[in-house]
Amino acid sequence: MSNGVFYAYIHNIRDDNTARVVITFASRAVADEWWRSISGIGYNIKRITPQFYTHDTDRANVLYFFVDAPFKSIAEQFRGRMFLTLQNDRGGRGIDIIPPRSVGDYVSGSLFDPWATRICIGFTIHPVDTSVPPTERTHFQIMANNMPRGTVMISTDPITIHIDEKHMVHVDADSAYLVTEKQRYDFNFGSLLSGVLVSTGGVLTYTKVDTSSNELWELV
C-alpha cells in the first residue's frame, strides 16, 4: 500500500461551520481499514472520496472517535495509527489544508491501470502456456472475493484480477510466470501492491520472497 501519512476531511452535514475534522492516518492502508470498520456500524457516516467523508453529528460525531460509545467496538485497534484535528468554526480555529495528492479509489469491481515502479505492466490474452510480457499497459478489473461490488478493498482481502469476462490472471505452478486462465487465482490485495511481481527474463513472475527485483504496483 501507499507509504507515508494520509489525510482526509470530514464534513458535518448538519451545518457549514462546526465539527469539521481532518483525520491524519499513518498510511493509506490504515485509512481504508478505518473505513471498512466504521462503515459497518452505521450512524450515517459516508465516504464521498478516499479523502472526503461526511458525518451526521445528530447520530455520532467522528471527532470523538476514541471516546464516544458508538465507536467503542472498533476504536482501540486504531489508537496510535490515526488522530483527529478539529477545524475552523466560529471559535476561531484555523483550517488545515491537506497536501494535494493523486489518489486511486480501491473499490472492488473497478478498472485499474497498474503501473510498476520500473516497468509498465501489460497482458496479452494467449493460451495458458504463454507467459505475460511486461511491455504494454492494460486495464484490469480487480474484484474482492466474496464481497459486494463497490466494497473498498483493504490489504488483507483476497482478490481476483480479471482481464476480460472470460480471462483472469493466473500464476503458472511450475514457472511462476503470470499467465491468462479461465479459472480463478487468489491474490492478496496488500501483497500485490507491496511487491510480489518480479521481472525475470523479459516476463513477469510471481514471488512471495522480498527481493530487490520486486515490482511495486501503483493502481490508478
User: Do 121 and 209 fall within a single domain?
Assistant: yes
Judged by average pLDDT, the poorest of 120-134, 137-151, 152-166 is 120-134
Output DSSP code: residue 26. S
pLDDT confidence of residue 102 = 76
Residue 130 forms part of a structural domain = yes
Listed residue (184, 161, 167) closest to 127, CA to CA: 167
Residue 38 forms part of a structural domain = yes
Residue 96 forms part of a structural domain = no
Report how many domains make up the chain.
2
% of residues, the chain, pLDDT over 70 = 73
User: Do 57 and 152 fall within a single domain?
Assistant: no
Cα three-residue angle 123-160-183, rounded to 5 degrees = 80
Most confident of 4-13, 114-123, 133-142: 4-13
Residue 100 forms part of a structural domain = no
User: Do 123 and 69 fall within a single domain?
Assistant: no
The model's pTM is: 0.74
Residue 64 forms part of a structural domain = yes
Last residue of a domain, one of 86, 119, 150: 86
Residue 149, judged by CB atoms within 10 A of its CB (0-12, 13-18, 19+), counts as: exposed
Report whether 204 contacts 114 (CB < 8 A).
no
215: number of Cβ within 10 Å: 19
Residue 29 forms part of a structural domain = yes
Residue 1 forms part of a structural domain = no
User: Do 70 and 118 fall within a single domain?
Assistant: no
Residue 105 forms part of a structural domain = no
Segment 121-147 shows an average pLDDT of 63
User: Do 158 and 121 fall within a single domain?
Assistant: yes
Range of the domain at 167: 111-219
